[in-house]
């Protein structure tokens, strides 16, 4: 299944050289990446603790690239209220949070940002059904969320094609599919054909051992054309 949307790159800053992040961001800008993917974790919804509201504000000071903010938190509203959300940023919350998502979607859009949902590996895509009219994209987790460099879940790539069929059959062909976790060039190319159009690049696709960003990003972009 060939998607109609142009493939986009969202680079995971969790995999960057955090002591030289501004340098990395400037390299990413020069290479024309589309988004900077920021994983916000609370050590409750997932077992890791990562970036917070001050980090988001600092990133906004050094780049005009839209942030692709993935909230892996049990209580997203107070974090969102404190966060420097810029118009055009993308905020993704987990469908596993349940019914509060309707109000959270309104809160995101009130800030001029875009709203999407994340689906964990064990969660069926049918869990998206109550929210299909509110989301602009779906992030499919291909690994257990919480840590960079996690192992790809066996058989998970089939979920990409299943999600594309589900969205199309429910009248939402415009809803994009983003894939996150162990997205190598080879896997990205396969998932592009299955209907994915946004690719979160980390250690498998962008920050590759023995390669500079100037080398890895063109290869990754070629894979998702």
Out of 24, 42, 89, 180, the active site residue is 180
Q: Could you give the CA distance from residue 113 to residue 88 in angstroms, rounded to a whole number?
A: 5
180 an active-site residue? yes
Q: How many CB atoms lie within 10 A of CB 117?
A: 24
How far, in Å, are 127, 146, 156, 181 from residue 120 at the CA level?
A: 10, 11, 11, 11
39 an active-site residue? yes
Strand partners, 36: 11, 67
Please give the span between the terminal C-alpha atoms of the chain, in angstroms, as a whole number.
Answer: 14
Position of tokens 């058989």? 155
In three-state secondary structure terms, 26 is helix
In three-state secondary structure terms, 104 is helix
- Backbone conformation region of residue 210, classed left if phi is above 0, alpha if psi is from -120 to 50, else beta: left
Q: Could you give the CA distance from residue 51 to residue 70 in angstroms, rounded to a whole number?
A: 10
Out of 39, 42, 68, 89, the active site residue is 39
Catalytic annotation, residues: 39, 180
């Amino acid at each position: 299944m060939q998607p109609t949307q142009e493939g986009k790159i969202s680079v995971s800053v969790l995999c960057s050289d955090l002591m030289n992040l501004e340098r990395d961001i400037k390299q990413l800008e020069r290479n024309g990446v589309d988004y900077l993917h920021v994983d916000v974790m609370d050590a409750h919804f997932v077992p890791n603790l990562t970036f917070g509201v001050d980090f988001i504000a600092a990133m906004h000071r050094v780049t005009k690239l839209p942030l692709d903010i993935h909230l892996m938190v049990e209580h997203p509203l107070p974090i969102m209220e404190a966060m420097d959300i810029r118009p055009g940023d993308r905020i993704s919350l987990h469908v596993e949070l349940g019914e509060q998502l309707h109000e959270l979607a309104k809160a995101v859009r009130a800030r001029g940002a875009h709203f999407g949902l994340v689906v964990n590996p064990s969660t069926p895509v049918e869990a998206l059904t109550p929210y299909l009219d509110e989301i602009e994209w779906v992030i499919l987790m291909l690994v257990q969320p919480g840590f960079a460099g996690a192992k790809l879940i066996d058989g998970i790539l089939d979920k990409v094609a299943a999600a594309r069929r589900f969205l199309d059959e429910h009248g939402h062909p415009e809803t994009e599919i983003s894939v996150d976790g162990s997205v190598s060039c080879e896997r990205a190319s396969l998932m592009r054909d299955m209907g994915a159009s946004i690719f979160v690049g980390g250690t498998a696709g962008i920050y590759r051992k023995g390669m500079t960003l100037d080398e890895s990003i063109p290869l990754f972009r070629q894979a998702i054309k």
